[in-house]
Amino acid sequence: MDTLIDLGGGFASALEPLSLAFALLGVLLGTVVGVLPGIGPISAIAILIPVSFGMEPVHGLILLCGIYYGSMYGGSITATLIKTPGEVASAVTAIEGYEMARRGRGKAALATAALGSFLAGTLAIIGLTFLSPVLVQLANVFGSTEYFLLMATALLLASTMSSGSRAKALISIFIGLAVGLVGLDFQTGLPRQTFGMSLLSDGIDFTIFAMALFAIPEAIRNLALGRGAKDVIQSFGDDTWMTKQDWQRSAMPWARGSVLGFIIGILPGVGPSLASFMSYIMEKRISKRKSEFGKGAIEGVAGPEAANNAGVGGAMIPLFSLGIPGSATTALLLFVFTMYGLQPGPLIFRDESGLIWTIIASMYIGNVALIILNLPLVGVFVKLLKMPKEILFSSILVLVAIGAYAIEFSLFGLMLLGIFGVIGYLMDKGGIPLAPSILALVLVPLLEDNFRRMLQISGGSFMPLLTRPVSLSIIVLMVLGIVGPIIFRWWVRRRQLLADVSVA
């Protein structure tokens, strides 16, 4: 009941004209930036963080949350119409959605994506509304041991559950940790890993790192490609919207995707991208129309898009109630909170409850705004796809430079941006995923702080990890979380082999 009262209060302030305007602006801006090919939610938020510097915390956060889910939706438009996913989460949409668009079903694909995102997003926010207070209660018994464990789990899961090589995902995490440790040690004030440069003693700014890693390599790569093959934009003007059959075929994937995405989203360290992949796999497995997959099966758009957006809501839960981000994007949001001097976690629900509930309420509003704005405006957004690449990507380079300047106001900050841009490019070329290192960079101060406190309290012993009941339960869950997927993979492969055999 208290929750509903809090939420009601949140709605009251989220519906104030200015808050409402920022929520709308956020989803609109997010969609616009998300539509631009090659720019996903992470780059979108990172580029737009400097814009929120001068704002009231609540407005800045409403804006950036709106940008987050707006850009997720924008990404699916791009994936459907030109097969260029801005981020991993829409990569599967690029498979089925694009095929649908090629067959003149583009509008249906966009509609099922939008409706699925809306339903799943709203369900996930309802989950967020009611689960966060519960988790906050639980968090009251958390000590540094549990926090350390949770953060270590987040990093471990981020590496084991990403697609591609696990060793490379781990490398990415350790690169993030390495960067995060540069600067003065917060406990003793001693300089660390500064290589004698006093400028490095403030550490490396998170936004600069995120912008450099996510925006620069993509921009440089596209500019360097030069005038090559032009993207073919699928037209969809004469398509029909969803037919009755489309609705029937989408309903269950939406539902399954929502549940799956929400659960995966809550797991620390696992973002929405895995949710959309898992949903796609699941839909393909249980579909009666397996042969249609890869040729434009609507289930393959409906499920993953729902899962993707449910994952966004799910990922907000550990962020808000524990202060632990579940993915690179929520790591960015955590950074924005701390930028405003706020520390998400149990305390924020007590000390800043008005603010946090306003943000949660604004998410409901943002989701509604997303569907009202986007389906009618999709024709306008598609025009953005025609923006010449050289203009788009050179503008992005200018914007990240402004961002870096606005943070450091120095040549040093600008050079850091360039250098990490090169590092990001090389990582990308070496097949090292970029997102885990962002997560690691945000977590490193908390991780180290709790690690130290844990060992100081126990006098150097690691035993509290096993003797404290809460921490032991986390360990059990963690083991299940890591062994589970391995068994799942094994099971899928076995089924696949059996299926292949029976077909033959």
Partner 1 sequence: MRTLTPALRGDVITGIAVTLVGAVYYIATFWIQETKNIVTPRTFPAIVGIALIVLGLFLIGQAVYRSRKLAEVVPAGAASASSGASGVASGSGAADSGVEDEPAGVVLDAPEEPKSKQVVLQFALFFIYLGILIPVGFLLSTAAFLMTMTSIYAPHRWIRNLIFSVLFSVIIYVAFVYGLAVYLPVGILG
Residue 452 sits in the site that holds partner 1 (CB under 8 A): yes
Give the dihedral sign, CA 11/64/323/202. negative
Residue 415 sits in the site that holds partner 1 (CB under 8 A): yes
Among residues 245, 395, 467, 473, the one that binds partner 1 under rule CB under 8 A: 395
- What gap in Å lies between CA 427 and CA 217, rounded to an integer? 9
**Measured between alpha carbons, how far is residue 21 from residues 14, 124, 126 in Å?**
10, 23, 22
Residue 73 sits in the site that holds partner 1 (CB under 8 A): no
Residue 340 sits in the site that holds partner 1 (CB under 8 A): no
Residue 285 sits in the site that holds partner 1 (CB under 8 A): yes
Among residues 72, 448, 464, 468, the one that binds partner 1 under rule CB under 8 A: 448
* Of 60 and 345, CB closest to partner 1: 60
Binding segment for partner 1 (CB under 8 A), chosen from 103-111, 276-284, 323-331, 363-371, is: 276-284
Q: Rounded to the nearest whole angstrom, what is the least distance from the CB of residue 356 to partner 1 in the complex?
A: 25
Among residues 391, 501, 503, 504, the one that binds partner 1 under rule CB under 8 A: 391
* Of 171 and 319, CB closest to partner 1: 171
Residue 405 sits in the site that holds partner 1 (CB under 8 A): yes
Cα dihedral value 337, 130, 328, 485, nearest 10: 160
DSSP 183: E
Among residues 455, 472, 475, 477, the one that binds partner 1 under rule CB under 8 A: 455
Residue 138 sits in the site that holds partner 1 (CB under 8 A): no
Residue 441 sits in the site that holds partner 1 (CB under 8 A): no
User: Which pairing describes strands 191-192 and 183-184: parallel, antiparallel, or unpaired?
Assistant: antiparallel
Among residues 421, 424, 436, 481, the one that binds partner 1 under rule CB under 8 A: 421
Residue 484 sits in the site that holds partner 1 (CB under 8 A): no
Residue 288 sits in the site that holds partner 1 (CB under 8 A): no
Instruction: Name the token pair of 355.
Output: 């603010």
Residue 473 sits in the site that holds partner 1 (CB under 8 A): no
For every residue of 128-139, DSSP letters joined together read: HHHHHHHHHHHH
* Of 147 and 280, CB closest to partner 1: 280
Residue count, binding to partner 1 (CB under 8 A):
87
Instruction: Name the token pair of 345.
Output: 């976690």
Q: Which of 344, 314, 343 is nearest to 327 (CA)?
A: 314
Find how far residue 38's CA is from the centre of its chain: 15
* Residues 182-241 within binding reach of partner 1 (CB under 8 A): 185, 187-188, 190-193, 195-196, 216, 220-221, 223-229
Tell me if 159 sits within 8 A of 170, measured CB to CB. yes
Residues of 72-109 as b/e, b for ≥16 C-beta within 10 angstroms?
bbbbbbbbbbbbbbbbbbbbbbbbbbbbbbeeebbbbb
Residue 418 sits in the site that holds partner 1 (CB under 8 A): yes
